[in-house]
Chains A and B, each alone.
Chain A
Amino acid sequence: MWVWVQILISSLSLGSFYALVALGFSLILGITQAFNLAHGDLIILSGYLAFALWKFYQVPFFWTLPLCLLAMPLVLLPLQMLLRQVKEPYGLNTLVVTFGIALLLQNAMLVVFSADYRLIRPDLPHYTFPELPLTFTLNQATLLVLSLAATGLVHLVLRRTFLGKALRATIEDREAAQLAGINVKQMGLVAFGLGGLLIGLAGPLYGQNMYLYPAAGTEATLIAIVITIFAGLGRSRGILLGGWLLGLAESVAALTLGIRWRELVSAAVLLILLYFKPEGISSAREG
């Protein structure tokens, strides 16, 4: 029985990590319909920023989180200004443009940081429960708390503020929102700003839970896309639930079938979900 409790702990922390990686992507895509293929590379950039602060300026790991959180919107806003110039078909064209930006970022990071693998290693303590075969680490707790906090805050903004109302209206029907007097271009700016904050949060955690290297962004973007499909666009709670479900599916597959089945089982779960609930797990089916 304790094995399953340990699996649950691992799944929740892994899923929380996935959710943090995906939250910004989902928000930007939902509000602006910009398919940001450079999302993962921006997370890696944020990770490198955190690594530089931690390694060369001895900034404690937890302090790199707010610093990167504040720095990344400054990177995202010029991106938003660039994507505003993109013509129709907007979705496809932003995909192409951001793909190019991803390549630029990867090569820039290769030149600046080299291809060496970097790890942020804050040596966080872990706890073993007396007489129980369970281990719980501060890292796992951090991921859980931050994912809940980020999801909760995004949810509060979207549900409890006028700004959130305007953002939701833009997600649901951009043209109708525009007709209702909502400045959708400003909403785009807000989306990228919020997305930047979330990317800034995800970067240091990526460097601490995975490892940083210039081409790592592709993997992160893929995680973001999969979780967004799981959850549905702009659904913050769905993102967290989707992350946890994906983490659980992978962990159970690893335990019962073997670690090599992780990705296959996740892909199967995704396909089944797309078949039965193509709008995402937390969305009501249209019509």
Chain B
Amino acid sequence: MRLIKSGCCGLSRFVILLGCCLFPLIWPAPGAAAGQEIVIGEINPLSGHLAKHGAEIHEGVLYAVEEANSRGGLGGYPLRLISRDDQSKPEVAINQAQNLIHREKVVGLLGGYVDSLVGPISELAAKYRVPYVASASLQRSLTARKNPYFFRVSRLDGLVRPLCQFTAQAMKAKRVAILHTATPGSAEFAASVKSCLEKAGVDVPLLEKFRPGCPDFSVFLLKVRQAKVDVLISGGFYADNLILVRQMQEGPLGLRAFVAPWGVAYQSFVAEMGRGAEGLFGTCAWNPGITLPGTERVSQTFVEGFRQRFGQPPNTTTMHGYTSARALLAAIDAVLTTGVKPTGEAISQALRQLDLSLPMERLKFDEYGDPRFYQQVVVQIQGRQMVPVYPLERATGQVDESLARR
């Protein structure tokens, strides 16, 4: 009798406990149940070693969503953005993506910095048919497989080509050293630049890889001096370039130019490095005052609005976030206009048909999900300002070689 009684109570308690645990999973998530708003998700590194860049992308995305909401949302529906932090870790990015897809039932995903974080999310996007527009991704293999649900607003060729042409044709370099981080995008960048330069008849006697967070480049710089190269190209991130540029100031290297695609073309970098930033070359797809021809007014409006909202000017990383969000929102709007339900498939189809003129680029995706017209410009820091110097059709100033020498 006692056994049955306790067994009964025990079983009931167990069932109740099990029910409580399962309840949140079976109850529909708020966004889906309400049916009165469009829910989109965003995953960025908001903590960890990539937090600076993740925060910038997040601000760009948030601004785009708030901009859309200020105009009444999309198709009369307000937008709700759910932001998640991947802590700069791929495994956390995967968990957050799954949470957004299954629990929050988002109609699209945004964000991402570095391909080690973007790649896993793109796989989930394909698996669960949720369109994902990545803000910062370069690795070719991510789009080579023609993932119908993965799109990105940047591409490697848009960076490699202008950089290679600038180095070989504008600077007329004979010998180049390349330093890059041990990340997929940076490694591919270095290999592509090397190949392009060698085809142009430029020697690359030094190509080295390092782990992000390296505290000392003095030995590498010693090798640069010994190799007697004209130009040093750094595929390191913003923080790595802080140390590299600081150590470059410690002794003559015989360089005619230092070029860093990631990190130099930021006002915050110029502010941190002070005089040490003068003459350095960087690349950017956009910056305040450096915008796609014909989008000057839109760009200025964006800069002013952003500054008012966040108390600081936007930068190229912010613009990548903004552009990716604009792409997704435009696609959702296009679907809603036709009266079709915004499913993953419909939105992806709409993304493929997009043709938007934005400050950063004319955004039109190719069959792989890459942006057709993405191109960065080479800038030189002159008088603490970023002056576009290449390609010539976008240049507003000239290369100052005396300033560039190290």
A residues engaging B (CB < 8 A)?
3, 6-7, 10, 14, 17, 106-107, 110, 114-119, 121, 123, 126, 128, 133, 135, 137, 139, 209-211, 213-216, 219, 250-251, 254-255, 258-260, 262-263
A14 vs B55: C-alpha distance in the bound complex, in angstroms? 32
A214: nearest chain-B partner, CB-CB = B51
Residues of B within 8 A of A14 (CB): 215-216, 218
Number of B residues near A (Cβ < 8 Å) is: 42
A137 vs B47: C-alpha distance in the bound complex, in angstroms? 34
A139: nearest chain-B partner, CB-CB = B250
Docked-complex contact B52 and A115, CB < 8 angstroms: yes
Docked-complex contact B220 and A211, CB < 8 angstroms: no
A213 touches which of B239, B249, B275 (Cβ 8 Å): B239
Docked-complex contact B213 and A219, CB < 8 angstroms: yes
User: Contacts A115-B52, A260-B210 known; A126 to B215 CB distance under 8 Å?
Assistant: no
A135 vs B214: C-alpha distance in the bound complex, in angstroms? 21
B251 touches which of A3, A107, A126, A254 (Cβ 8 Å): A126
Docked-complex contact B219 and A7, CB < 8 angstroms: yes
Residues of A within 8 A of B46 (CB): 115
A210: nearest chain-B partner, CB-CB = B215
B209 interface residue per 8 A CB criterion: yes
Docked-complex contact A260 and B47, CB < 8 angstroms: no
User: Contacts A115-B55, A211-B239 known; A255 to B211 CB distance under 8 Å?
Assistant: no
Docked-complex contact B48 and A215, CB < 8 angstroms: yes
Most buried by B among A14, A117, A126, A262: A117
A260 touches which of B209, B218, B250 (Cβ 8 Å): B209
Most buried by B among A10, A119, A121, A137: A119
A263 vs B243: C-alpha distance in the bound complex, in angstroms? 18
Docked-complex contact B242 and A119, CB < 8 angstroms: yes
Residues of B within 8 A of A110 (CB): 47, 51
B222-254 CB contacts (< 8 Å) to partner A: 222-223, 225-226, 238-239, 242-243, 246, 249-252
A136 vs B194: C-alpha distance in the bound complex, in angstroms? 32
Most buried by B among A114, A214, A215, A263: A215
Docked-complex contact B213 and A255, CB < 8 angstroms: no
A26 vs B210: C-alpha distance in the bound complex, in angstroms? 28
B301 interface residue per 8 A CB criterion: no
| B267 smallest CB distance to A (angstroms) | 11
B304 interface residue per 8 A CB criterion: no
Instruction: Give 25 CB contacts A-B under 8 Å.
Output: A3-B222, A10-B216, A14-B216, A17-B215, A107-B47, A110-B47, A115-B47, A121-B276, A126-B250, A128-B251, A135-B250, A139-B250, A211-B239, A211-B242, A213-B49, A214-B51, A215-B47, A215-B49, A254-B216, A254-B220, A255-B223, A258-B208, A258-B209, A259-B217, A263-B211
A255 vs B225: C-alpha distance in the bound complex, in angstroms? 13
A250 vs B214: C-alpha distance in the bound complex, in angstroms? 11
Residues of B within 8 A of A6 (CB): 222
A10 vs B273: C-alpha distance in the bound complex, in angstroms? 22
Residues of A within 8 A of B246 (CB): 119, 121
Docked-complex contact B220 and A114, CB < 8 angstroms: no
Docked-complex contact B239 and A259, CB < 8 angstroms: no
| A253 smallest CB distance to B (angstroms) | 9
| A211 smallest CB distance to B (angstroms) | 5
A259 touches which of B54, B88, B210, B275 (Cβ 8 Å): B210
Docked-complex contact A128 and B252, CB < 8 angstroms: yes
Residues of B within 8 A of A135 (CB): 250-251
| B234 smallest CB distance to A (angstroms) | 12
A134 vs B218: C-alpha distance in the bound complex, in angstroms? 12
A121 touches which of B222, B251, B274 (Cβ 8 Å): B274
Residues of A within 8 A of B222 (CB): 3, 6-7, 10, 255
A138: nearest chain-B partner, CB-CB = B250
A255 vs B220: C-alpha distance in the bound complex, in angstroms? 7
A241 vs B286: C-alpha distance in the bound complex, in angstroms? 49
Residues of B within 8 A of A17 (CB): 215
A211 vs B182: C-alpha distance in the bound complex, in angstroms? 20
Residues of A within 8 A of B223 (CB): 255
B195 interface residue per 8 A CB criterion: no
A10 touches which of B55, B219, B252 (Cβ 8 Å): B219
B268 interface residue per 8 A CB criterion: yes
| A131 smallest CB distance to B (angstroms) | 14
| A27 smallest CB distance to B (angstroms) | 22
B67 interface residue per 8 A CB criterion: no
B179: nearest chain-A partner, CB-CB = A259
Docked-complex contact B215 and A209, CB < 8 angstroms: yes
The 5 closest A-B CB pairs, nearest first, are: A115-B51, A135-B251, A254-B219, A115-B52, A10-B218
A251 vs B221: C-alpha distance in the bound complex, in angstroms? 12
B272 interface residue per 8 A CB criterion: yes
B219 touches which of A119, A128, A133, A255 (Cβ 8 Å): A255
Docked-complex contact B182 and A260, CB < 8 angstroms: yes
B51: nearest chain-A partner, CB-CB = A115
| A238 smallest CB distance to B (angstroms) | 21
B263: nearest chain-A partner, CB-CB = A117
Residues of B within 8 A of A254 (CB): 216, 219-220
Most buried by A among B219, B242, B268, B273: B219
Residues of B within 8 A of A213 (CB): 49, 51-52, 239
Docked-complex contact B47 and A259, CB < 8 angstroms: no
B276: nearest chain-A partner, CB-CB = A121
Residues of A within 8 A of B215 (CB): 14, 17, 209-210
Residues of B within 8 A of A215 (CB): 47-49, 51, 88
Docked-complex contact A118 and B49, CB < 8 angstroms: no
Docked-complex contact A117 and B272, CB < 8 angstroms: yes
Most buried by B among A7, A211, A251: A211
A114 vs B52: C-alpha distance in the bound complex, in angstroms? 8
Docked-complex contact B272 and A118, CB < 8 angstroms: yes
Residues of B within 8 A of A255 (CB): 219, 222-223
